[in-house]
Structure 1
Amino acid sequence: MFSKSAFIVGTLSLAISTVLVSKPTHASIYNGVSDKFKQKFHQQLKNNKVPGGAFVIVEGDKILKLSYYGKRSKGSALNVNANTVFRLASVSKTFAGTLASMLVQENKLDWQQPINAYLPSFVLADPKASQKINLGHIIGQSTGLMPNSYDNLVNANVSKDKILNKFSEITPMCRPGVCYSYQNVAFSFIESAIEQKSGLSYENYIEKRIFKPLEMNNASTGYTAFMAEKNRAEPHIKTKSGFKKVSVKPNYYELAPAAGVNASITDMSKWLIANLGEKPAVLSSAVINDVTTPGVKTTKELRRRDWRTYLDNAYYGKGWRVYEFEGRPLIYHAGWVAGYVAEISYSPELNIGMVMLLNGESRVIAKLSSAFWHDVFKQQN
């Protein structure tokens, strides 16, 4: 007998794979929603005094609405525009999952392979426990390790090699594949597998397989590339006296698969379009189905402020979250890193997606995105 959760996972997977074959067009319906969102986006960023931001809404292979707001840096004369580059933070994980899945589809990687095959220096307190963690667990956030293991050391600027050695002190909280355990450091272990099987550095491989073929001309990976970009949004943190500009921190750039990608809103429109299945030569339906197949359940997501009213179920796929939003499948990921927030989401059923990028830490991004999807799905009721 199927459990309710198994039925929901199967239903979501079927809905996701089905729409990649036959996609409706609702541009005339969503133009109104897009216009409304633009108005709210500008008003909410102004009300919350967010320095700058940008968003894009796409349907199929077309941009319904692209807009930007504010300044690249507080007090500056330089405005945000369509090519201003932001840090994507954890939205970078969507690229890592896709790159790994590409290699799986080409039979160069296997999700069942142990991570030790590519990173033999990864050892837990019980060496046998580390041998049970495979590539699927790494990319699917189901390693069984304590959530956000050693993010505190990343924040303290400890080197990646020293952090890797610290894993020998960890005892997993559950068996791999059983419980949800969000990671940044461990997630980035996938870099070793990708580099060894592609024969390229992670930066060069993402450029070859995604950025260049999709013409994501402003996209890059890493701290050096970001700092070399003249048209970049500077980071701002929230203080009691308002937003304060801070320096770009290089620490999380050390974890390229987890938080290393930089991109403009124009770039992200192209990434969305590809994930809606409109660029099969770059992003195949097999890869899209693979990375958006619901994996471990993420119950904590159901309690998210601004989202909890709408979420029925939540799972982690492979670098993507899979939500059941008012009964509809929604593919999603958010990112936050000192001074920046980002969100990407799309409905495979309705063939529409949205990205937001802000250069100021603000919860307004979650409020805007959840309300947007409520309005979109309401059109179908």
Structure 2
Amino acid sequence: MSLKSIISIVGLTLAAVPQFSEATTYTGISDRFKTEFHKQLKANNVPGGAFVIVKDDKIIKLSTYGKRKIGGDLNVNADTVFRLASVSKTFAGTLATMLVQEGKFSWEEPVNKYVPDFTLAGPTAGKDINLGHVIGQSTGLMPNSYDNIINANGKLEKIIPKFSKLTPMCTPGKCYSYQNIAFSLIQEPIEETTGKSYETLINERIFTPLKMTSASLGIDNFLTTKNRAEPHVKTKSGFRQVTVKPNYYQLAPAAGVNASISDISKWLMANMGNRPDVLSPILLSDITEPGVRTRKELRRRDWREHLDNAHYGKGWRVYDFNGKELIYHAGWVAGYVAEVAYSPELNVGMAILLNGESRVIAELGSQFWSDVFEQYEKSHKG
């Protein structure tokens, strides 16, 4: 934990900093963003979407657009549930860190202590990959190992033994290695050491106390939700509705969460420190502590001109965005895209959920944060 984080936790002030909380400033930014959001979704024929901007413990702006499905009569509203895809990792990292801090298991324990079928080729047979490497995306495995089988609806229990054919491309802990399957192995120690299911714990420790009333885990819960956004993929002739696929729902920690934009506003506020009864300051500092460097992120279109550095924490990405820390994660799964981010310094957060695969989400997100930090710098000159 950094010295700055420790000082922040005990409530001391590093320096007297003018407050960037003028209502007019945020109203202007939020109004411009809403206009651009609707303009860009319309221009790109995105079926539907929603966004929220929060400051401290309040919603500054929430807006929705379009339909839950193409050709349908029902509009997307604040409680319409979307799949979060890889934004689910932020919940898994948080829950796992809670349990580590409570002494249920440790990051240093090898994965195959809990998942004996998980072995690798080579002399150590994967014993040097620990739970910390899994949650921090630093296993050293080839990125997205065996996701191709998940994409083809392969079953997880048949995929795990296949890891015995792989050798790490680097020493675990030394390089970035984004995973979905390996990341989801964190479910085993979570369930084994608590005696409860992953779904039960997510509900008890996060959804219920934060009053995320429409949030859920898994395909069954999603399909029984009446107010849900249907998935759409982009084709040469435009967006086409598709059926909800069960494949990535097998990986509950990596891609199993469903939520509305109203739910996400509560998740953002909690992660910005406004619900210490649920997410403590020490927990928040731990999950956002920069881990392995993620150089690939620095080449992201729409974001690369703003990113000076990028790391992975514990289920969250940690960006250096134009010299300011930005905590971030995005998600994509067939028919849905999501983006969630917040600035710890400004205590501002923003999230976007779409039910159509579109790059417009990256354009909107990067421009929003560029505008916010630019306004902040202007307000502090002199």
- Identify the TM-score tier after normalising by the shorter chain: over 0.9
Q: Which residue of 1 aligns with 2:380?
A: none
Q: 1:336 aligns with which of 332, 339, 354?
A: 332
CA distance in 2, matches of 1:283, 1:338: 31
Q: 2:57 aligns with which of 41, 61, 70?
A: 61
Q: Which residue of 2 aligns with 1:6?
A: none
Contact 1:55 1:354 in 2 (8 A): yes
CA distance in 1, matches of 2:343, 2:10: 11
Q: 1:51 to 1:114 in 2, by over 3 A?
A: same
CA distance in 1, matches of 2:230, 2:43: 20
CA distance in 2, matches of 1:17, 1:156: 49
Q: Which residue of 2 aligns with 1:326?
A: 322
Q: 2:21 aligns with which of 18, 26, 31?
A: 26
Moved more, 31-40 or 14-23: 14-23
Aligned residues: 371
Q: 1:194 is paired with a residue of what secondary structure?
A: helix
CA distance in 2, matches of 1:363, 1:17: 39
- Counterpart residue type for residue 226 of structure 2: K
RMSD value, Cα:
1.6
Q: Deviations over 1:110-154 (max 9, x none)?
A: 111111221122111126141101111000000000000000000
Q: 1:333 is paired with a residue of what secondary structure?
A: strand
Q: Which residue of 2 aligns with 1:306?
A: 302
Q: Residue 205 in 1 paired to residue 211 in 2?
A: no
- Counterpart residue type for residue 360 of structure 2: V
Q: Deviations over 1:228-282 (max 9, x none)?
A: 0010000000001100000000000000000000000000000000000100111
- Counterpart residue type for residue 26 of structure 1: S
Q: Which residue of 2 aligns with 1:244?
A: 240
Q: Deviations over 1:138-171 (max 9, x none)?
A: 0000000000000000011111010001001101
Please show how residues 277-292 of structure 1 align to structure 2 within 5 Å. 277-292=273-288
Q: Residue 37 in 1 paired to residue 27 in 2?
A: no
Please show how residues 119-130 of structure 1 align to structure 2 within 5 Å. 119-126=115-122, 128-130=124-126
Q: 1:17 to 1:191 in 2, by over 3 A?
A: farther
Moved more, 125-134 or 244-253: 125-134
Contact 2:5 2:285 in 1 (8 A): no
- Counterpart residue type for residue 76 of structure 1: G
The answer for unaligned runs of 5 or more in structure 2 is: 378-382
CA distance in 2, matches of 1:139, 1:97: 6
CA distance in 2, matches of 1:129, 1:65: 51
Cα drift, residue 35 of structure 1: 1.1
Contact 2:187 2:253 in 1 (8 A): yes
TM-score by length of 1: 0.95
Cα drift, residue 198 of structure 1: 2.0
Q: Which residue of 2 aligns with 1:185?
A: 181
CA distance in 2, matches of 1:14, 1:307: 26
Please show how residues 99-248 of structure 1 align to structure 2 within 5 Å. 99-126=95-122, 128-248=124-244
Contact 2:9 2:281 in 1 (8 A): no
Q: 1:27 to 1:217 in 2, by over 3 A?
A: farther
Cα drift, residue 19 of structure 1: 8.2
Q: 1:41 is paired with a residue of what secondary structure?
A: helix
Q: 1:69 to 1:173 in 2, by over 3 A?
A: same
Q: Which residue of 1 aligns with 2:349?
A: 353
CA distance in 1, matches of 2:356, 2:10: 35
In percent, how many aligned pairs have the same letter? 65
Cα drift, residue 108 of structure 1: 1.3
CA distance in 2, matches of 1:171, 1:310: 35
Q: Deviations over 1:322-358 (max 9, x none)?
A: 0000000000000000000000000000000001000
Cα drift, residue 18 of structure 1: 3.1
- Counterpart residue type for residue 262 of structure 1: N
Q: Deviations over 1:274-326 (max 9, x none)?
A: 00010011111111111100000000100100000100000000100000000
Q: 1:342 is paired with a residue of what secondary structure?
A: strand
Contact 1:148 1:182 in 2 (8 A): yes
Cα drift, residue 27 of structure 1: 4.8
Contact 1:97 1:318 in 2 (8 A): yes
